[in-house]
Structure 1
Amino acid sequence: MNIQPPYLKKGDKIAIVCPANKLRKSIAPAIALLESWGLEVITGKSITGDHFNFAGDDALRTADLQTFVDDSSIKAILAARGGYGGIRIIDQIDFSAFNRNPKWIAGFSDITTFLSHTLAALHTQSIHGQMPASFETGSANSIETLRKALFGEELNYTYKSTITNRPGHTEGVLIGGNLSILVAMQGSVSEMDYTDKILFLEDVGEQEYAIDRMLRMLKRSGKLAHLRGLIIGSFNGIKPQEIPFGQTPEELILEIVSEYNYPVCFNFPVGHIEDNQALIVGSTAILHVQTHEVILSYQ
């Protein structure tokens, strides 16, 4: 059973850090919103860090995250944004204090590095959801699901898929995140266990052939064979090719998992989109997939 960090309550202190790319704009509106939830918000040095494309050099970002991992008064750590950089510092973080006092880590995109490590190495749940840098463009509903996830309120999702799903009903621990990052975690201590899990995937800015290659790598390594369910979120920002690849991400996914019989759903509201719904990584979920309707709830 994975460890569930204590849910937040009004008056709790949370930290915002930038463990990857640097901020390009103020997150003051996001901080104000978090404070309106009754939280005390502390920002790390990496929020103003600037080292080429990163929010400070590796040493600064490592020390910044380490400070809040070690601080027992901090009840959650929110990544301000993603980009690239988590894999450069994950092995320098000492999670000893985290093991004694688990706390929520929340974010998506490159932050999948930390969500994956938290589950794989520390057996602790985390939150895949909107980040302060995306609050202004994120839907009100997506930000509300983040609040509910942090405060332990009921989260259930029902939506209509415009793409034909592969129906089925299943239950299992929910894992996943950004496809590129999950592939980068393979063979390391941060690699999630895929067996008997419900896997969700999303990505942005990749070409169809790269998506195909990454998925086939997961298949060849046995990661897709023993899933209980597959949730496909947004694969957007696909770069056009001079010669078309010939398959959409959804089409190639169905082909790759055609020999398996677990349910597969598409159009799930997760990823680099405005309506990026919060998902609790490491929690037990119930997935009901019909041809064009999907229901996800937590046990």
Structure 2
Amino acid sequence: MIKQPAHLKKGDKIAIVCPANKLKNSIAPAIAILEGWGLQVITGKSVSAAHYQFAGDDNLRAADIQSFLDDDSIKAILAARGGYGGIRIIDKLDFTKFNDNPKWISGFSDTTALLSHLMGALQTQSIHGQMPVSFEKATTGSLESLRRALFGEEISYSYTSSFPNRSGQAEGIIIGGNLSLLVAMEGSVSAMDYSNKILFLEDVGEYEYTIDRMLRMLKRSGKLAGLKGLIVGAFNEIKPEDTPFGQTPEEVVMEIVKEYDYPVCYNFPVGHIEDNRAMIIGRTAVLKVGDADVSLSYK
């Protein structure tokens, strides 16, 4: 049974932490937006800490998150930014009290490590969505989707893909996140179960060949065979190579999953983009994919 944290209401207290890299800019504008939603915002010690590229050393970042995991007055924890470092502290965290009273944890990019652990090891829903560091450039729609996810309001998306989809309809539990981090979780207790799930993927700053390699690793491990559906988000800021790889990320996906019959949609608004829509990991959704038109609605 997948646990669903209690949805937020106005007046609730939430915390912002930095599980990975240190902040370079103020998140005051994001705090103002969150307060405009009627929330009380607490910032952890990691938000102002620095240790080389990290937001404090591993012990500080872990202790910061732990304090909010154990504090019943905190109803949600938002990762301020990604970068690298979440995987270094997962095993330092004690989720005993969290399990008794789960709360929303939200973020994307490197935070996928923590979101994957919540689903894989703890069977608890979480939110893949905009982080405070990206609030200023985020679209109104992406921020509204995060607010609706946190407050438990109805969420549905529809758009038109510019890359040909594989049409079909699927209903299943949503899992996914940053491809690099999902691959890094494999072989550990933090890995998600992909069977009969709708998987969404995104990544940034990779070579086309590394995307190909990671997807083939998932295929060879059997992760892609039993999906209900596949959602391909943004694969942006692709690194150039001296000798072209010859396939775009979308073409790589199309080739790798061509033998399966589940629906596949492309250009979904999720990832390192301004219109990064909130995805509720662990929640059942209905995915409808046409040749170009796509809709996703949570049940």
Q: 1:273 and 1:203 mapped to 2: Cα distance?
A: 10
1:146-157 alignment to 2 at 5 Å? 146-157=146-157
Spell out, residue by residue over 1:184-207, the C-alpha distance to the aligned partner (whole angstroms, 9 max, x if none). 000100000000000000000000
SS across alignment from 1:233: strand
Question: What residue identity is the alignment partner of 2:74?
Answer: I
1:30 Cα deviation after fit: 0.4
Q: Deviations over 1:131-161 (max 9, x none)?
A: 0000001111101100000000110000000
Q: How many residues align?
A: 299
Number of the residue aligned with 2:189 = 189
| Structure-1-length-normalised TM-score | 1.00
SS at 1:122 equivalent: coil
Letter in 2 for 1:261: D
Correspondence 1:30 to 2:24: no
Equivalence map 1:8-27=2 (5 Å): 8-27=8-27
Cα distance in structure 2, aligned partners of 1:252 and 1:128: 24
Per-residue deviation at 1:97? 0.8
Q: Distance in 1 between matches of 2:208 and 2:120?
A: 28
Residue identity matched to 2:257? V
Structure 1 CA distance, aligned partners of 2:171 and 2:249?
A: 25
Report the 3-state secondary structure (helix = DSSP H, G, I; strand = E; otherwise coil) of the residue aligned with 2:175.
strand
CA offsets, 1:217-264, max 9 Å, x none? 000000000000000000000011111000000001010001100000
Partner of 1:142 in structure 2?
142
Counterpart in the other structure of 1:59: 59
Shift of the alpha carbon at 1:2? Answer: 1.0
Q: Counterpart in 2 of 1:95?
A: 95
Q: What's the counterpart of residue 290 of structure 1?
A: 290
Q: Distance in 2 between matches of 1:252 and 1:32?
A: 41
Residue 165 of structure 1 and its aligned partner are, at CA, apart by 0.1
**Cα deviations by residue, 1:84-126 (Å, 9 ceiling, x for unpaired):** 0000000010000100110000000000011100011111100
Matches within 5 A, 1:170-181: 170-181=170-181
For residues 180 and 252 of structure 1, the distance between their equivalents in structure 2, rounded to whole angstroms, comes to 15
Q: Which residue of 1 aligns with 2:271?
A: 271
Structure 1 unmatched runs, 5+ = none
- Counterpart-to-counterpart distance in 1, 2:49 and 2:238: 30
Which residue pairs with 1:254 in the alignment?
254
Q: CA RMSD in A?
A: 0.4
**One-letter amino acid matched to 2:232:** I
Supply the distance in 1 between the matched residues of 2:133 and 2:45 (Cα, whole angstroms): 16
Give the Å deviation of 1:273: 0.2
Percent identity for Structure 1 against Structure 2: 71
SS of 1:241's equivalent in the other structure is coil
Query: Equivalents in 1 of 2:173, 2:232: separation in Å?
Result: 16
1:108-123 mapped onto 2 (5 Å cutoff): 108-123=108-123
TM-score (norm 2): 1.00
The residue aligned with 1:43 is 43
Once residues 252 and 59 of structure 1 are traced to their aligned partners in structure 2, the CA distance between those partners, rounded to angstroms, is 39
2:106 aligned with 1:106? yes
Mapped partners of 1:67, 1:288: distance in 2: 41
Q: Aligned AA for 2:71? A: D
Partner amino acid, structure 1, of 2:184: A
Query: 2:238 maps to what in 1?
Result: 238
| Residue identity matched to 1:166 | R
Task: Give 1:199's aligned residue.
Answer: 199
Q: Distance in 1 between matches of 2:170 and 2:108?
A: 25
**1: distance between equivalents of 2:252 and 2:148?**
34
Task: Give the partner amino acid of 1:194.
Answer: Y
What's the CA shift for 1:53?
Answer: 0.4
Letter in 1 for 2:219: K
Secondary structure of the residue aligned to 1:84 is coil
Q: What does residue 74 of structure 1 align with?
A: 74
Match of 1:158, SS state, is: strand
1:221 is matched with 221
